[in-house]
């Protein structure tokens, strides 16, 4: 069942109305430093990528286009229009109820999406359902207690149209969450160690994860389900 809480409706509405504002960040001084660094961290996990791939919460399609992800879903029509213009094949849907058959995908991406979904556990269950054997989940998160996480939480507390709805997690909380839903963390990469407002030079990517990084990319693989006991 797709979520239809007041929060989920508000998120869908704001991302629909302000899709162009969201996309304009790419051309901002901050975006011109952060976006390439985030892409580089996700590309560091390329050994875990299998095709076909789908991005849950594809937004305007910027990451999907850059990473060669052909498919995406998002609940916000304004976002989907911009993603289509980038050549992404999209559908209006939510991660809690993926319109896909079981075991049909090689990789599912969740980039900045986990903090906005209504039911993270159900999203992870759905992703596990649609991944084929050997497939992987790739996440991109802003650790809650990093300088960037604190920065965006402060913006949210002051009423920022996007970040007011975000529920940021630490890397450890994310790892615990995905493990509890049947995934094993396989690899990680971190970047954005410059402070918010001080992004002046391109950032390197370091292997592994740290709560101090402003962006952490994680690769996770589903654990096999235990065999059913005989009736």
Whole-number Å distance between alpha carbons of 115 and 222? 21
| Contact criterion met (CB below 8 Å) for 198 and 181 | no
Q: For strand 215-222 and strand 131-141, is the pairing parallel, antiparallel, or unpaired? A: antiparallel
| Residue 229 pLDDT > 60 | no
CA angle 185, 190, 193 (to 5 degrees): 150
At 78 the three-state DSSP class reads helix
List of residues 6+ apart from 68 with CB closer than 8 A:
53
Q: For strand 183-191 and strand 71-74, is the pairing parallel, antiparallel, or unpaired? A: unpaired
**Res. 212 pLDDT band, cuts 50 70 90:** very high
Whole-number Å distance between alpha carbons of 218 and 139? 5
Whole-number Å distance between alpha carbons of 131 and 54? 10
| Residue 231 pLDDT > 60 | no
* pLDDT at residue 184 in the model: 97
Domains of the chain plus CATH, in order, are 6-222 (3.40.50.150)
Read off the pLDDT of residues 10-50 as tens digits, 9 standing for 90 and up: 999 999 999 999 999 999 999 999 999 999 999 999 999 99
pTM: 0.94
Q: For strand 131-141 and strand 183-191, is the pairing parallel, antiparallel, or unpaired? A: unpaired
| Residue 1 pLDDT > 60 | no
* pLDDT at residue 59 in the model: 97
Find the mean pLDDT for residues 105-126.
97
Question: By percentage, how much of the chain surpasses pLDDT 70?
Answer: 96
* pLDDT at residue 180 in the model: 97
Read off the pLDDT of residues 168-191 as tens digits, 9 standing for 90 and up: 999 999 999 999 999 999 999 999
Find the mean pLDDT for residues 110-116.
97
| Contact criterion met (CB below 8 Å) for 95 and 118 | no
Question: Exposure of 43 by Cβ count < 10 A (0-12 exposed, 13-18 middle, 19+ buried)?
Answer: middle
Tokens linked to 2: 């797709």
Find the mean pLDDT for residues 127-151.
97
| Contact criterion met (CB below 8 Å) for 51 and 71 | no
- DSSP E strands in the chain: the ranges are 53-56, 71-74, 89-92, 105-111, 131-141, 183-191, 206-207, 215-222
**Res. 90 pLDDT band, cuts 50 70 90:** very high
* pLDDT at residue 10 in the model: 95
């Amino acid at each position: 069942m797709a979520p239809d809480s007041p929060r989920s409706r508000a998120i869908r509405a704001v991302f629909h109305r302000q899709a162009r504002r969201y996309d304009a960040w790419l051309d901002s001084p901050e975006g011109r430093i952060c976006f390439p660094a985030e892409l580089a961290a996700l590309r560091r996990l390329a050994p875990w990528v299998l095709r076909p791939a789908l991005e849950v919460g594809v937004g305007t399609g910027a990451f999907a286009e850059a990473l060669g992800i052909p498919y995406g879903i998002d609940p916000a029509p304004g976002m989907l229009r911009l993603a289509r213009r980038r050549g992404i094949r999209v559908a209006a849907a939510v991660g809690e109820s993926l319109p896909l058959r079981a075991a049909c995908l090689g990789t599912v991406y969740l980039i900045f999406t986990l903090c906005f979904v209504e039911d993270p556990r159900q999203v992870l269950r759905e992703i596990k359902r649609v991944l084929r054997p050997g497939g992987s989940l790739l996440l991109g998160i802003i650790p809650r207690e990093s300088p960037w996480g604190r920065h965006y939480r402060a913006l949210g507390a002051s009423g920022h149209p996007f970040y007011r709805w975000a529920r940021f997690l630490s890397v450890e909380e994310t790892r615990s969450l995905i493990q509890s839903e049947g995934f094993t963390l396989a690899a990680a990469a971190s970047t954005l160690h410059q402070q918010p407002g001080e992004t002046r030079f391109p950032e390197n990517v370091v292997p592994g994860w740290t709560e101090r990084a402003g962006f952490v990319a994680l690769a996770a693989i589903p654990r096999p389900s235990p065999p059913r006991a005989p009736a």
